[in-house]
Amino acid sequence: SKEITASIGAEYLKPRQYHTASKGAQEAHEAIRPTNIAIRDISASAQEKRLYNLIWKRTVASQMSDAQIEKTTIEILPSTRPEHFAATAEAIKFDGFLRLYTEGRDEPDEPGQPVTLPPLKKGDKLKAVIVTATERFTQQPPRYTEASLVKKMEELGIGRPSTYAPTISTIQAREYIEKGQNDGQPRNYRVVTLANGEISHSENTEICGGDKGRLIPTDIGIIVNNFLMEYFPAILDYDFTARMEEKFDLIAEGKLPWSGEIATFYKLFHPDVENAMSMRLEHKVGERILGSHPQTGKTVSVKIGRFGPLVQIGDADSDEKPQFASLLKNQSVSTITLDEALKLFEFPRSLGTYEGSDVTVAIGRFGPYVKHAGKFISIPKDIAPAEITIEQAEDLIKAKRDAENKKVVKIFTEDPDLQILNGRYGIYIAYKKNNYKIPRTVENPAELTLEQCREIISQQDSKPQKTTRSRSSARK
């Protein structure tokens, strides 16, 4: 308060105290803040200074007055057309907390700054200098990020601040959702401009359909969700979750007996469980029949297996063993077609020979790969496994070999099990499936002798092992 009043002004001060909607709710971790608000700048690296400045401003801004912004919208009516144009501008009447973020800015036309309209009054005649029409496409709502999902959970009353992050982490650990990797695809759009009485046409490009970093439901997540929505709709109802949170607060405060709530819940829940268990015998959850094999007539289906989504030809109950093939990364249980499924059984596919060894393409648990001389090389996303050529496979084999050669720093013929390797975190010693750090005092690890490496291994093996409590992983 003193810092805001002294350095900015008393009119900018508006102390706030934040609290949860329910006083019985468990809070999330305490917000990060400066230990001393009076310290505006710190002696540190440029990156650390920027981080401190970001935290300092957010902390001070949370105790400042709201900004007062006047929004103006004008309509421009052409004399010869029924359509009208609109212009919107904002003017800051009182900057409030924005004062912190606008200090030191000398560029009024900086991108993102409010648009300023000239003085206008009703009935003014305007001259069209430039009129631009830009083609736009209707887009679906964007997928949730972790931050936007937390905001939505808060709106719906799902969980509490202390449970938002663990809830999202749990469904990620169970592989019900995953983060998107698609950067999007370029799309052209048209721009028509009227200037000086002439119309010109141009075409620009934008990126659309990207979901990188956003949360996407997996096949198993969709199947689990559909199963729960079908058999337990009352429990998955948002209102049910919010009501239970309120009841938990009353139970914690001693205003509601927990035993009665448990009895009421199980009275409704138990019949749903019995119904779901009986229906499991009648159909397999998540399995989808695609059709029949054109040559054999066997049933072709898609389902979730132990290692993910797969296609099956045949029936497990028949005398003949079914055939299985894993789906590609860009394929889904809910959208794959019969033709796409049958193409998966064209693998492993032989491409020919290279250096006297067969080169084959196959699809495994972790995606498509090339196999050559006992080595497995992953196929990049931009190469279709069904269309890869022997020349492309050779390039992948050479690239893999070059990467492995760069990884090996030194090999000792006297002891082949001991190697000096270059890894993700630097150079290290590898010996019998164990890794050993090279001390920082060693200036050139490539010049280490076999005896010196053995001494480093012996020293690190003799150190007592740190024991940590094992953490149970989330079960699927």
| Whole-angstrom distance, CA of residue 142 vs CA of residue 272 | 34
Domain extents in the chain: 2-61, 68-127, 128-134+142-157+164-217, 219-284, 288-345, 347-407, 412-462
Task: Identify the pLDDT of residue 1.
Answer: 72
| Whole-angstrom distance, CA of residue 302 vs CA of residue 344 | 12
Q: Identify the weakest region by mean pLDDT among 28-42, 211-225, 288-302.
A: 28-42
Contact predicate 21/112, CB 8 Å:
no
Q: Identify the weakest region by mean pLDDT among 99-108, 132-141, 298-307, 397-406.
A: 99-108
For the cut 90, the answer to whether the pLDDT of residue 454 exceeds it is yes
| Whole-angstrom distance, CA of residue 474 vs CA of residue 469 | 16
> Does this model's pTM top 0.85?
no
Residue closest to 385 by CA, chosen among 338, 330, 339, 306: 330
Q: Which residues of 374-385 are buried (b: 16+ CB within 10 A; e: fewer)?
A: eeebebeeebeb
* pLDDT level of residue 465 (50, 70, 90 thresholds): low
* Mean pLDDT value of segment 209-226: 89
Tell me the per-residue pLDDT of 42-65, one tens digit each, with 9 for 90 and over.
888 889 999 999 999 998 888 889
* Mean pLDDT value of segment 446-468: 85
| Whole-angstrom distance, CA of residue 202 vs CA of residue 187 | 14
Query: What are the φ/ψ torsions at residue 290 (nearest 5 degrees)?
Result: -95, -25
For the cut 60, the answer to whether the pLDDT of residue 23 exceeds it is no
Q: What is the DSSP letter of 175?
A: T
Compare 201 and 37 and report the one with higher pLDDT. 201
Tell me the per-residue pLDDT of 155-173, one tens digit each, with 9 for 90 and over.
888 887 888 889 999 999 9
Tell me the per-residue pLDDT of 251-281, one tens digit each, with 9 for 90 and over.
988 899 999 999 989 998 999 898 888 776 5
* Mean pLDDT value of segment 191-196: 92
| Whole-angstrom distance, CA of residue 242 vs CA of residue 191 | 48
Task: Identify the pLDDT of residue 77.
Answer: 85
Instruction: Give 432-436 contacts, CB < 8 A, sequence gap 24+.
Output: 436/460
Compare 103 and 422 and report the one with higher pLDDT. 422
* Mean pLDDT value of segment 120-126: 83
* pLDDT level of residue 450 (50, 70, 90 thresholds): very high
| Whole-angstrom distance, CA of residue 102 vs CA of residue 43 | 23
Tell me the per-residue pLDDT of 434-444, one tens digit each, with 9 for 90 and over.
999 999 899 89
